[in-house]
Amino acid sequence: MNIECVHINKGRLECILKLRVSTELKDADIIWTSMQVDDDVKRAAGITDQQYINQFPFEACLVMKHHLAETIQKAHGSPDWLHPTYNLESHLSQLIGDYYARKRDGMNNLWILKPWNMARTIDTTVTDNLSAIIRLMETGPKICQKYIERPALFQGKKFDLRYIVLVRSVKPLELFLADVFWVRLANNQYTLDKHSLFEYETHFTVMNYRGVLNHKNTPEFVKEFEQEHQVKWLDIHERVRNMIRSVFEAAATVHPEMHSPMSRAMYGVDVMLDSSFQPKLLEVTYCPDCTRACKYDTQAIGGGGELLKGSDFYNYVFGCLFLDETRHVCPL
């Protein structure tokens, strides 16, 4: 079996003895790329329907934030794990109504604005000012989502979790969750003081592109988190698993046209916990940055705590997606 890799560390893949890297796109059995491949690209590159590709048709229903919210709302209504979310291009009046209802009832009115299709918290703003929300629409299309004002904290700091989901099939739905996941920590102590809303290192957790990255190995984080909050991580993990399954069930139900027998894909799912340790969905990312998964050795949470070598991460991913292996992944 041959493989064509684009924008990925080929050295990591060459250690998979059952696969080899192809230098010619037309000779590859698998196209692995971080760029969108539409029909025009396929024709220009000579990609055929007999080649596997690491993306599903219509996956925008998951990876674009306004479509993700719409997909979940169509399938599940308003689940507890998705905070109220409005597409400012089409539902501004509904947001304004919600804003004033919350103001009338004395409820928290802090919102986060996110561009439809940007990562790394680019052009993302936290505010409780309705005029600012409306004005920020001028910088590009956005969603406005109720801010999680009472998140679970780790040693007083905000954090979120990046999970890796592997999709073999949409119909039937075949999902796997990688044993490897990691925590992303804010640098500053969490506060809702108004002046802090402009402090990136207080309210945001993605530090590997700016700020100072304080990496915390997952087993250490889990152990210390359990001790700090007197909770069992495996209980939290089970709730996260159920939520992630529901997200992809929504996509498969609302958009059955996603089905493609030659598609396999890896997605990053970002999750935050509230102060009651209930998971909240943040976003789903296509072809996620897995640098941390490859860079650091870690241990599986639960079971025997088996060593997970960073250099083998893509072995597990490709083994699951293309060779029907289930080493260090578990079905959802």
| Domain positions in the chain | 1-53, 54-82+150-332, 84-147
Cα distance between residue 166 and residue 265, in whole Å: 6
Cα distance between residue 225 and residue 163, in whole Å: 17
DSSP code at position 8 = S
Query: How confident is the model at residue 210, as a pLDDT?
Result: 56
Q: Look up residue 252 and give its two tokens.
A: 């498969």
Cα distance between residue 165 and residue 137, in whole Å: 32
Rg (CA), the chain: 20
Dihedral, CA of residue 176, residue 181, residue 183 and residue 184, to nearest 10: -80
Query: How confident is the model at residue 8, as a pLDDT?
Result: 38
Bigger pLDDT: 209 or 195?
195
Cα distance between residue 110 and residue 137, in whole Å: 17
Cα distance between residue 66 and residue 264, in whole Å: 23
The fourth-level CATH superfamily of domain 84-147 is: ATP-grasp fold, A domain (3.30.1490.20)
Q: Is the pLDDT of residue 6 over 50?
A: no
Per residue in 196-231, pLDDT (tens digit) is 877 778 777 775 555 566 788 999 999 999 999 999
Query: How confident is the model at residue 43, as a pLDDT?
Result: 86
Count Cα neighbours of 297 within 13 Å in the Cβ-side half-sphere: 4
Per residue in 267-295, pLDDT (tens digit) is 999 999 999 999 999 999 999 999 999 99
Cis before 279 (ω within 30): no
Query: How confident is the model at residue 106, as a pLDDT?
Result: 96
Query: How confident is the model at residue 302, as a pLDDT?
Result: 74
Query: How confident is the model at residue 89, as a pLDDT?
Result: 96
C-alpha angle 75-174-266 in degrees, rounded to nearest 5: 90
Q: 240-250 as b/e, with b when 16 or more CB fall inside 10 Å?
A: bbebbbbbbbb
Size (the chain), residues: 332
Query: How confident is the model at residue 256, as a pLDDT?
Result: 97
Query: How confident is the model at residue 15, as a pLDDT?
Result: 42
Per residue in 171-189, pLDDT (tens digit) is 999 999 999 999 999 999 9
Fold that domain 54-82+150-332 belongs to in CATH: D-amino Acid Aminotransferase; Chain A, domain 1 (3.30.470)
Query: How confident is the model at residue 18, as a pLDDT?
Result: 60
C-alpha angle 41-290-274 in degrees, rounded to nearest 5: 115
Same fold, 54-82+150-332 and 84-147: no
Query: How confident is the model at residue 16, as a pLDDT?
Result: 45
The residue-averaged pLDDT of 231-257 equals 98
Q: Which residue is it, tokens 């700090």?
A: 228
Average pLDDT, the chain: 90
Spatial contact of 19 and 13, defined as CB atoms under 8 Å apart: yes
Q: Is the pLDDT of residue 121 over 80?
A: no
Cα distance between residue 45 and residue 172, in whole Å: 30
Range name among 60-74, 92-106, 112-126, 153-167 with the lowest pLDDT average: 112-126
Reported as type and span, the H/E element at residue 113 is strand 111-115
Q: What is the DSSP string of 168-229?
A: EETTTTEEEEES--EEEEEEEE----GGGGG-HHHH----SSSS------HHHHHHHHHHHH
Query: How confident is the model at residue 178, as a pLDDT?
Result: 97
Q: Is the pLDDT of residue 55 over 50?
A: yes
211: left (phi over 0), alpha (psi -120 to 50) or beta: left
Q: Give 28's pLDDT tier (boundaries 50, 70, 90).
A: confident
